[in-house]
C-alpha cells in the first residue's frame, strides 16, 4: 500500500526492475557527491585562502597544465561511460517484454485510460493486474499523445496516435499504485490517471470472473473480421482469395510490391488496415479499401488481436494468458498452438513462482 511518511524520498518499489532503477539512481547520487565534494571544497578553500589581501594585486601567472587537463577529461569520460552502460542495461530490461507476458490493451483518450483485458474485462482509469506475472501493455490513443506512467514500477511510455507502443512490468507487491498521464495532453491532463491495483493471483481471478463484459478482444476482432467489416470476403483463405493470407503472418517477414520486406508486427497490421495502399503485399493488387474512419481504436486493437491469434506460434507473447489462449477462436489456430507452443505451460507456471 501507498505509505505516506512525512516527506517521502522514494516512491514504493513495486516491480522487478524498480530496484535496478533505484540502484542506478543511487550510483548516480554517489558519483555526483564524489564529483562535487572536491570541487566544492576546492572552491571554498581557495576562496578563503586566496582572498584578496591587497587591492589590485597581481598574483603569479599560471597558464594551464596538459597533464591535469588530460586527467580531468579522461576521468569524467570513463565515469560517464559506466553510467551509460548501466543506463542501457536497465533500459533494455524495461523495453524488452518477455515472451510469456500477459497482454493488455490500452487506449488513451482525452482524458481517460481505457483498458481492455484479454478476457473481455474493460476498465477505465484503473488497471488490475496479478502479482508476479509479466504484463505487457499494448497502447495507442484516439487523439493526442499521452504517456502511461506508473512511478512505483519505475516505468512509463508514451502513447502515440497512429501506432502501438509498449510497456511491460512484473509487479512484485500487491497494492494500489498511482497511474499518471505524463505527456501533456490538454485541459484535464493532471486528472488523467487513477490507480494500478496489484492483486494476488486468486483475487485477480475473482476479479476477472466478476465483470466480464461481452466479448474478448479476439472474439470482437473475429466478429468484425467475419461479419461486420467483411474482411473475410477477401482474406478468408482458399484458392480464390484476393487478399493476402493472414494465418501465420504475425511476426513474419512480408515481401511488398517494390521489393521491400517488412516484419508484420502490430504496427504493420494496423497500418495495413488504415492505409492498405501504402504497403501492398507482393502478388496482390492494391484493391483493399481503407478502413480509416470506420473503425475505432478499440476495434482496431481487437482486429489486431484477432489476426495475431491466427499466428499462435509467433504470437506466443500475446496469446499466452490462460483465458485468452483457451478462447482463441480459429480452431486450427488452437490445435497448432497446442502442438508447437512448448513454452506455454512454462508461461503459465510462471504465475506461481513469484
Read off the C-alpha cell for 65: 597544465
Does position 36 interact with other proteins (CB under 8 A)? The reply is yes
Does position 332 interact with other proteins (CB under 8 A)? The reply is no
Read off the C-alpha cell for 43: 572552491
Distances (CA, A) of 24 to 29, 72, 87, 104, 285: 9, 23, 7, 29, 53
User: Could you tell which of Cu ion, other proteins, none binds residue 86, using a CB distance below 5 to 8 A set by kind?
Assistant: other proteins
Q: Which residues contact 334 (CB under 8 A, 6 or more apart)?
A: 312, 328
Q: How many residues bind Cu ion (CB under 5 A)?
A: 4
Q: Give the Cα separation of 261 and 254 in Å (integer).
A: 5
Least distance from C-beta 224 to other proteins, angstroms? 20
Does position 93 interact with other proteins (CB under 8 A)? The reply is yes
Least distance from C-beta 270 to other proteins, angstroms? 11
Pairing state of beta strands 134-141 and 165-170? Answer: antiparallel
Q: Which residues contact 310 (CB under 8 A, 6 or more apart)?
A: 246, 247, 248, 249, 250, 330, 333
Q: Give the Cα separation of 88 and 93 in Å (integer).
A: 9
Question: Among residues 28, 257, 260, 338, which is the contact residue for other proteins, using CB under 8 A?
Answer: 28
Q: Which residues contact 284 (CB under 8 A, 6 or more apart)?
A: 242, 243, 244, 257
Contact status, residue 281 vs residue 244, Cβ threshold 8 Å: yes
DSSP reduced 3-state for 28: helix
DSSP reduced 3-state for 55: coil
Does position 19 interact with other proteins (CB under 8 A)? The reply is no
Distances (CA, A) of 155 to 22, 279, 320: 12, 33, 23
Q: Which span sits near Cu ion by CB under 5 A: 59-67, 79-87, 144-152, 199-207?
A: 144-152
Q: How many residues bind other proteins (CB under 8 A)?
A: 94
DSSP assignment, residue 58? -
Grid cell 510490391 — which residue?
Answer: 257
User: Could you tell which of other proteins, Cu ion, none binds residue 173, using a CB distance below 5 to 8 A set by kind?
Assistant: none
What residues between 246 and 285 interact with other proteins by CB under 8 A?
275
User: Could you tell which of other proteins, Cu ion, none binds residue 34, using a CB distance below 5 to 8 A set by kind?
Assistant: none
Does position 1 interact with other proteins (CB under 8 A)? The reply is no
Question: Among residues 102, 115, 185, 249, which is the contact residue for other proteins, using CB under 8 A?
Answer: 185
91 vs 349, beta carbon nearer other proteins: 91
Does position 136 interact with Cu ion (CB under 5 A)? The reply is no
Peptide bond before residue 158 is cis, with ω within 30 degrees of 0 = no
What residues between 107 and 166 interact with other proteins by CB under 8 A?
110, 143-145, 147, 149, 151-152, 154-158, 160-163, 165
Burial of 177 (0-12, 13-18, 19+ CB in 10 A): buried
Q: Which span sits near Cu ion by CB under 5 A: 9-17, 177-185, 223-231, 241-249?
A: 177-185
Question: Among residues 19, 30, 35, 213, which is the contact residue for other proteins, using CB under 8 A?
Answer: 35
Pairing state of beta strands 194-199 and 126-130? Answer: parallel
113 vs 291, beta carbon nearer Cu ion: 113
Q: Which span sits near other proteins by CB under 8 A: 14-22, 118-126, 244-252, 328-336?
A: 14-22
Least distance from C-beta 296 to Cu ion, angstroms? 18
4 vs 353, beta carbon nearer other proteins: 4
Give the x-and-dash track for 56-85 against other proteins (CB under 8 A): xxxxxxxxxx--xx--xx--xx--xx-xx-
Q: Which residues bind Cu ion (CB under 5 A)?
A: 146, 181, 185, 192
Amino acid at each position: 500500500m501507498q505509505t505516506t511518511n512525512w516527506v517521502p524520498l522514494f516512491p514504493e518499489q513495486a516491480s522487478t526492475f524498480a530496484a535496478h532503477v533505484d540502484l542506478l539512481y543511487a550510483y548516480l547520487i554517489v558519483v555526483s557527491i564524489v564529483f562535487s565534494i572536491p570541487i566544492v571544497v576546492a572552491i571554498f578553500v581557495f576562496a578563503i585562502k586566496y582572498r584578496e589581501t591587497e587591492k589590485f594585486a597581481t598574483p603569479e601567472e599560471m597558464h594551464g597544465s596538459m597533464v591535469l587537463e588530460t586527467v580531468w577529461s579522461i576521468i569524467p569520460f570513463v565515469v560517464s561511460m559506466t553510467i551509460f552502460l548501466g543506463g542501457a542495461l536497465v533500459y533494455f530490461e524495461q523495453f524488452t517484454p518477455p515472451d510469456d507476458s500477459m497482454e493488455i490493451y490500452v487506449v488513451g483518450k482525452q482524458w481517460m485510460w481505457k483498458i481492455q483485458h484479454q478476457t473481455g474485462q474493460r476498465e477505465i482509469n484503473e488497471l488490475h493486474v496479478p502479482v508476479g506475472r509479466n504484463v505487457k501493455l499494448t497502447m495507442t490513443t484516439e487523439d493526442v499523445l499521452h504517456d502511461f506512467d506508473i512511478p512505483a514500477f519505475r516505468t512509463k511510455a508514451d502513447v502515440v496516435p497512429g501506432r502501438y507502443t509498449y510497456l511491460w512490468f512484473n509487479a512484485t507487491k500487491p497494492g494500489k499504485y498511482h497511474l499518471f498521464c505524463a505527456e501533456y495532453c490538454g485541459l484535464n491532463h493532471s486528472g488523467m490517471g487513477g490507480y494500478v491495483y496489484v492483486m494476488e493471483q486468486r483475487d485477480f481471478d475473482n476479479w476477472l470472473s466478476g465483470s466480464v463484459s461481452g466479448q474478448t478482444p479476439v472474439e470482437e476482432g473475429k466478429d468484425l473480421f467475419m461479419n461486420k467489416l467483411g474482411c473475410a470476403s477477401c482474406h478468408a483463405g482458399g484458392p480464390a482469395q484476393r487478399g493476402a493470407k493472414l494465418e501465420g503472418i504475425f511476426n513474419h517477414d512480408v515481401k511488398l510490391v517494390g521489393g521491400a520486406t517488412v516484419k508484420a508486427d502490430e504496427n504493420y497490421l494496423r497500418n495495413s488496415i488504415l492505409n492498405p495502399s501504402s504497403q501492398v503485399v507482393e502478388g496482390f493488387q492494391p484493391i483493399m479499401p481503407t478502413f480509416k474512419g470506420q473503425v475505432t481504436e478499440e476495434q482496431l486493437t481487437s482486429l489486431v488481436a484477432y489476426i495475431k491469434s491466427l499466428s499462435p506460434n509467433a504470437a506466443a507473447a500475446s496469446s499466452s494468458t490462460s483465458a485468452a489462449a483457451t478462447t482463441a477462436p480459429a480452431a486450427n489456430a488452437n490445435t497448432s498452438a497446442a502442438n508447437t507452443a512448448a513454452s506455454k505451460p512454462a508461461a503459465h507456471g510462471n504465475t506461481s513462482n513469484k
